[in-house]
A and B are shown apart, each in its own frame.
Chain A
């Protein structure tokens, strides 16, 4: 009976969490764009346009088949991405903490890595007309160098995604470890127990506030800074958007997504924007995204605005960095993350 109740709770909490997260995540890009616009002395778009209306608009656009090496696989990658990001968020919610150890550092890091792999796969599949196949007479006229591979810009983006996967996102994973090391456990439930002990004994309508948030410690703060930069890297936002730099690789692997697929990609990106922010609030402040504790859920959502807002301001003032700058930046941030990790042992 307990098992059935648990499964029912798990399914219900997952559905509620997924719906709330999806709806809320559709507002975040609007806030982000509005802030960027204000920094740039522009009015900016209405708050609901970049998220909510853009997704709806693309959803009802005429169907356009992408040009890809394996079209079915390429199309399915979007929906796989949405599922990965949703699961990533769900693993940080309380009902999942007890399921096969997925509510742990391993579950989070594993799904984050999967999400990164998606860009490599998308890039290697997409074959837009905007690049190599464009019918230009320069091939007839010849070239300085002949007989070399002609690469699609999306493939070039996939190579960049691979580099970012290997090096660029390293700081995020180091920062992710810090709260777990501070709690001396790999499980999110233990981490919450250390930071917010009253949470487990609270009723559904109460608001259990953390007494010992890791963010307010020196290693926690350092890790939060590193996490924020890693957040930008994972979201491919400036200054770390080299794998979708408009200037050369245009949109990267997602270039060929149109209509419903583009709507799906926006859903994935918006959900990731929220999921990473919500996970930050859960891990560093100790307030989980609990669909059965409304006040706790609302507080998590409100605090989740901090990272997108900070991102919007930073993005407005940042150019695109190339690997010439990304490598040293990553090394420096990783070093900072390692320092936070060492310091967190003493907590």
Chain B
């Protein structure tokens, strides 16, 4: 592991601020780079530009209805929010989920994991300036968008999990199983060629290797979970602790380099592991019911569930009152901590590389913009414009 030491005598010549409206940022956030010529000496990222107050929307809703909102926290990782939301109530009310339903939940999750990683490649290569690799990635992703539509009926919001199991429409038929396996075989061949071409491209590798270094200690310190932590040598994957994943044989990919290349390669290898899991689901899918309706919404203490989403660790936490209505919903997504780690990782890079480093943590801002401001002991949500009106702004 190459450790970069920050020069204590470094001079900050100027500030370069990018965003929140900027063509390189697919979602709104602010990057302030403090630079000396082209070299980033320090970085400050400001999120919370697209606050939607989604946690407040859950308040007082019946639990079954609220879970539809959970899926809409994010478009890319819609299934993980839906699944983790139902895991909370299933854990709190001790609802047993049939094995077949768990298998199909894992299936759709891994399909979406691959789709998410391919979006990451698309975005990362767009920032790298390599349009061909970027577009190729989106072309490859179509397989998984189709599969999500076949299984869930929708390309983006498949709505597979419900409390106690899965929706009946998401059950796998024999013909669908065959389609999944055929599409996977076709995808795998093209995908391996794609990854080989990326790794063999000297220009691309010259931009990725040795840039955006994040050490294992820093990854742990900033809690950079998911592929970012694992690409820095932190062997941490919640899937290993989840009973839903116990039946499946897969490897957790851990690399030691901690640079942008490692973050790309880690995800590339993780896609292959996800393919392995999907094949196991389809081949070993148990017979039986797909949903357990034998439960009644009732009072539930605060229950917290953690989940290994595509970008890292996700937390959902809430309680139910005596009428089964949701109280105190909290979501913590991996992006805030991952971005904090990238503030550190991009120091010492060129400006153009720094933006790539920030993107290499695969930030998802719609997931994470849910902050509440506490004033005089009362919690309330302020919009951006309210903050500006209250505190003013100056050029």
Contacts and interface: CB of A to CB of B under 8 A. Distances in A.
Contacts of B20: 134, 136
Interface in B100-157: 125, 127-132, 135-136, 139
B352 A148 contact: no
Interface in B351-395: 351-353, 355-356, 384, 387-388, 391-395
B265 interface: no
Interface in A305-336: 316-325
Contact of B34 (A144, A247, A319): A144
B22 A130 contact: yes
B203 A318 contact: yes
A150 B17 contact: yes
Nearest to A150: B15
Interface string B10-25: 0011111111111110
B352 A320 contact: yes
A4 interface: no
Given A130-B21, A248-B351, A137 B129 contact: no
A39 B132 contact: yes
A241 B125 CA distance: 15
A124 interface: no
A1 interface: no
B327 to A, nearest CB: 31
B139 A41 contact: yes
Interface residues of A, number: 46
Contacts of A149: 13-15
B9 to A, nearest CB: 15
Scoring A36, A133, A136, A241 by chain B CB atoms within 10 A of each residue's CB, the highest score goes to A136
Contact of B21 (A134, A141, A148, A324): A134
A248 B359 CA distance: 12
Given A139-B394, A144-B42, A319 B204 contact: yes
Interface in A218-275: 238-239, 241-242, 245-248, 250
Contacts of B395: 132-133, 135, 139
Contacts of B12: 145, 148
Contacts of B356: 247
A76 B201 CA distance: 42
B16 to A, nearest CB: 6
B383 to A, nearest CB: 11
Nearest to A163: B38
A320 B201 CA distance: 13
A153 B355 CA distance: 13
Contacts of A247: 24, 127, 129, 352, 355-356
B129 A138 contact: no
Nearest to A140: B391
A41 B136 contact: yes
B18 A138 contact: no
A131 interface: yes
A324 B203 CA distance: 12
A153 B30 contact: no
A185 interface: no
B132 to A, nearest CB: 5
Interface string A36-59: 100111100000000000000000
A145 B15 contact: yes
B44 interface: yes
Nearest to B24: A247
Given A130-B21, A138-B30, A323-B350, A148 B13 contact: yes
Contact of A132 (B17, B21, B136, B388): B17
A239 B352 CA distance: 13
A111 B352 CA distance: 30
Given A247-B24, A248-B351, A325 B206 contact: yes
Given A321-B207, A325-B206, A140 B393 contact: yes
Contact of B355 (A140, A239, A248, A316): A248
B323 interface: no
Contacts of A134: 17, 19-21
A338 B395 CA distance: 49
Interface string A150-176: 110100100100000000000000000
A143 interface: yes
B32 interface: yes
A136 B385 CA distance: 10
A153 B19 CA distance: 11
B284 interface: no
Contact of A137 (B23, B37, B201, B384): B384
Contacts of A245: 129, 352
A138 B20 CA distance: 11
A241 B130 CA distance: 12
Contacts of B16: 131, 151, 153, 156, 248
B129 A40 contact: no
Contact of A36 (B131, B136, B393): B131
A322 B207 contact: yes
A141 B387 CA distance: 10
A140 B24 CA distance: 25
A150 B38 CA distance: 14
A143 B127 contact: no
A206 to B, nearest CB: 44
Given A137-B388, A318-B129, A250 B14 contact: no
Contacts of B30: 136, 138
14 contacts: A41-B135, A131-B17, A140-B387, A140-B393, A140-B394, A143-B44, A144-B42, A144-B44, A148-B13, A148-B15, A316-B132, A319-B203, A321-B203, A322-B352
Closest 8 CB pairs of A and B: A320-B129, A319-B130, A149-B14, A247-B24, A319-B128, A140-B391, A322-B350, A319-B129
Given A139-B395, A150-B15, 6 more contacts: A137-B387, A137-B393, A138-B32, A140-B388, A150-B14, A248-B16
Interface of B: 12-24, 30, 32, 34, 37-38, 42, 44, 46, 125, 127-132, 135-136, 139, 201, 203-204, 206-207, 350-353, 355-356, 384, 387-388, 391-395
